[in-house]
A and B are shown apart, each in its own frame.
Chain A
């Protein structure tokens, strides 16, 4: 089974801090994704990556950046955390290969609170 591991289940940070959310997958997947999940809004894509050192903006990239130095690891960075970034963050990975019909595999999420 694919395992996607997010480094923290719960995280509390202060406004203005630089925050790192880490995600690791163990199935050699090409694609990795970061979403945020908010009540009434569903899941919204922040950034995704289809290869090492490659990244593309999703629907809501403002205030975030990402890093993918190794294939198995995809980090989400909040450059200067703000209270409106309090949310549940979900990482996912996908097989890739241009099929477009493969499912994504999700981690358990990080519930981030910015005070």
Chain B
């Protein structure tokens, strides 16, 4: 079945550091890809998405590009802030049901 593999961490960075969170997927067909973020004590929020190959999703300084040839959707940010401390989940959906398959999540802590 479909699956998502992502870096699990936890990861600690200093403010203004560069962030990459790797995400690869296994799926038949052409899934839509998502990054969700979960801030402490909250539910998940959509961070960005891409629905076809070579699409780039971006939001709040984060970017990820849908790479079909490497089945990847790595999340990047050039300069992290303390407020980016959260858990990040990579996910895919396929078909019409909107069912999401999640990676295990990666906890990021950014120190001042």
| Chain A residues with a Cβ under 8 A of chain B | 4, 31, 33, 40-43, 45, 48, 50, 58, 90, 92, 94-109
Contact = CB atoms under 8 A, between A and B. Distances in A.
A33 B89 CA distance: 17
B73 interface: no
A106 B44 contact: yes
Most chain A CB within 10 A, of B34, B93, B98, B100, is at: B98
Contact of B45 (A31, A97, A99, A106): A106
Contacts of A104: 44, 46, 98, 100
Interface of A: prevailing SS? loop
A41 B34 contact: no
Given A42-B105, A90-B43, A90-B44, A101 B99 contact: no
Contacts of A45: 99-100
Nearest to B95: A100
B25 interface: no
Nearest to B41: A108
B43 A100 contact: no
Nearest to A103: B46
9 nearest A-B pairs in the assembled complex, by CB-CB distance: A98-B96, A106-B43, A42-B104, A101-B32, A94-B98, A103-B46, A101-B51, A106-B44, A43-B102
Contacts of A105: 46
B49 interface: yes
Nearest to A88: B43
